[in-house]
Every structure is written in C-alpha cells, then in structure tokens.
Structure 1
Amino acid sequence: MKPNARDRLIESTRQLLWERGYVGTSPTAIQQRSGVGQGSMYHHFDGKPDLVLAAERRSAELMQRQIAEALTGPGTALERIAAYLGRERDALRGCSVGRLTADPEVMADDTLRAPIRETFEVLHHHLRRTIDEGVAAGELAADLDIDETASAIAAVIQGGYALARAAQAVEPFDRAARGVLSLLRASAPRTH
C-alpha cells in the first residue's frame, strides 16, 4: 500500500531533518521530496514547525522501539548492551534524533526539543535497568554507579557518531563501542 500524503510529508521531513537540519528543511524541499503539493501540505499541517514536530516524533518512536528491542530482548545484560551497541546503523549518517541537538532552531524551541529529550530519557531508562540487572546477576561490579554508567554509554554512542562523521569512516564508532564494552567487562567481578 502506497503511503498517504500525510505519511509521505512526515517521512520526507524526517529524512531532510536528518540530512540538512531545520533551516535546510524548507517547505519546497519537503514538497519536492514527498511529491505532495503545497495545498495538501497545509491541509495536513499548520506549518513547518507542526510538520517538523510530527517528523521528530516519528524518528523518536523508531529509535525508542530499537532501544527497547535491543535492551529488553534475550540474553545477559552485557549481551543486550552489546547487541544495542552493535546493532546495524549508519554511523556516518549519525543519529536521526541526536543530530538535532546541534540544531539551534530545534534546541531553542521547548516543543521541538521534547521528542529528543524524551528519547534520551527512554535510552537512559533502558540502559539503567539493564545495567542494574547485570549488577544484580553478578555480571557487573556491585559498586558500579548505574546512572553514571548509563549516561556514559549514551555519550559513547552519540560521541561515536561524531567521531565517525568527522573521520568519514565507521571504525571510530565501532572502536568507541568496543571500548565501552571492554570497560564494562573489566568491571565484572572476578571469580576464582
């Protein structure tokens, strides 16, 4: 089934935001990418901010679903964290949600910033719960600060994207992911 005009507008805006940011996502570019005319665009949305918010929400929903699938699936805590860090992603393109934190227009608007904040809260929640399970199972050190570790993993992911984009190579992202996993494994209690 072909997506309707509203869905095409949202997806086109989502892709343009990811590629160009808020300013580069003009109504003309949205219409060209989506194949939807101006009248239809303004029939479905009150204006660019309304459409951008819908696109951000879609990106947030997709990312939140990926987070939940990886971190609540089967396996040990470390296996689930490794699955999340190692999931297929376009490291050179960056995070469709995280990249918006560098966009001044988005960051200046509480409403447009909300889906980004909520997505990182979901990531922190799932990481925290997974790390807590790892500590409870004796897989990770009992004195590991769960909140700080969850924040560090999230920062490694977003920083890994920045490193990969700067180098125009995937290896810096992969190296950062392997590094945080090595640190987590090193925190594991030693059994004799």
Structure 2
Amino acid sequence: MYGDSVDKRERLIESTRELLWERGYVGTSPKAIQERSGAGQGSMYHHFQGKSELALAAIGRNADDLRAKAEAEFAGPGSVVERIAVYLRRERDVLKGCPVGKLTQDPDVMADPDLRRPVEETFGWLTGRLAELLDEGRAAGELDRSLDPAATATALVAVLQGGYVLARAAGSPDVFAKAVEGALGLLATKEN
C-alpha cells in the first residue's frame, strides 16, 4: 500500500509538471491532473492540500531538474566556453518552451509569492552560475578581461528565454539555434 501511495503522489506531481508546461496554471485544473495521473480526487487531496500545493511541488521539481541538467553540463570537461556551449546547445523541446521560463508569463504564478519563488530562485541560480563560469574564463585568459560576468550571464539567460519566444513565434526551432550561435559567437571573440 505504501508503494502505491508514493506512486500516486509521483504521478500527481509528474502529471502536474506536464500540464503546467502545456497549459499553464489556470489551464491546469484538478480534474485534468486527476485524469492525466489516473489518481482520484481522494488521492490528490490526501497528498496535497490543493492545486497550489501540488503546483508548487511540480514547479519545484522542474526547477530542480533544470539546475541538475545545467550543473552537469557546467561541471563537465572542457573550457568555459565549451561547457557553456554544451549547455546552450543541449537538445530541448524548443517549440514547447522552457518549463520554468513559461511560468513567468502566467499571471497567477507570478502573483503568488510561493509559486513565484522557485521560478525566481532558478533564474537567479542560473545567472549566478553562468557569471561564475564567465569569471573563471576571464581569470584563465579564455575570455576578455573587460567582459562583465554578471551582465553577460544575464544576457545569456535572456538569449535562451528570448530564443524560445522567437522560435515559438516563427514556428521553427531554427530561430532558437541562431540565437544560441549568435551568443556563442560573441563569447568566442577575445581581445588580444
């Protein structure tokens, strides 16, 4: 019975993650979550006090996954620019958008401090981690000393998130790829 309970909780969280990515918070009804997860209303309210608590668990899981994937790439082999390139070029469902970034367009998520927090913290972490890498690249002589790590890290995050928006507008992931390659081209230029 314990195993079934954990399984239902996981199915509820995973179903909510998918629905939030597809439909946003308002479009993710408890009924849709229950249908997708195969869990009944009793199971949902046994594990979570309501939609908001379940959404928070799902958003937190998305944020944790984003951080874990990014950190694995940032800590991998190669130069700073090579590691950032691996992160930026990683295969993504570009036309679906970023599961964390899309939430910034959801007024109900942004209006709720608890739901907003993991989104804000994730982008803060990502920007900070990229700034650390860029500073490491400057110290190693790989990047120009005049490069501002914090500003450049913010620009890289903006390129990714903006790339998703432009690709969705164009209906083509090629736009995202061009944005990434443009950003990497700027990093590759080093004053001698």
TM over 0.5: yes
Partner residue, 1:172: 175
Partner residue, 1:96: 99
Partner residue, 2:125: 122
Give the deviation of 1:73 after TM superposition: 1.2
- Tell me the percent identity: 57
Q: Distance in 2 between matches of 1:131 and 1:71?
A: 11
AA aligned to 1:35 is: G
Contact 1:91 1:164 in 2 (8 A): yes
Give the superposed CA RMSD.
1.2
Q: Mapping of 1:7-26 within 5 angstroms?
A: 7-26=10-29
Q: Mapping of 1:1-192 within 5 angstroms?
A: 4-186=7-189, 188-190=190-192
Question: Which region of structure 1 is more displaced relative to structure 2, 170-179 or 71-80?
Answer: 71-80
Contact 1:160 1:176 in 2 (8 A): yes
| Alignment TM-score, normalising by the size of structure 1 | 0.96
DSSP 3-state at the match of 1:84: helix
Q: Distance in 2 between matches of 1:122 and 1:67?
A: 10
Give the deviation of 1:131 after TM superposition: 0.4
AA aligned to 1:61 is: D
Give the deviation of 1:88 after TM superposition: 1.1
AA aligned to 2:154 is: S
Give the deviation of 1:9 after TM superposition: 0.2
- For structure 2, which runs of at least 5 residues remain unmatched after alignment? none
AA aligned to 1:100 is: L
1:78-102 deviation per Cα after TM superposition (whole angstroms, max 9, x unaligned): 0011000001111111100000000
| Alignment TM-score, normalising by the size of structure 2 | 0.96
Q: Which runs of 4+ in 1 moved over 3 A?
A: none
Give the deviation of 1:121 after TM superposition: 1.2
- For structure 1, which runs of at least 5 residues remain unmatched after alignment? none
Give the deviation of 1:189 after TM superposition: 2.9
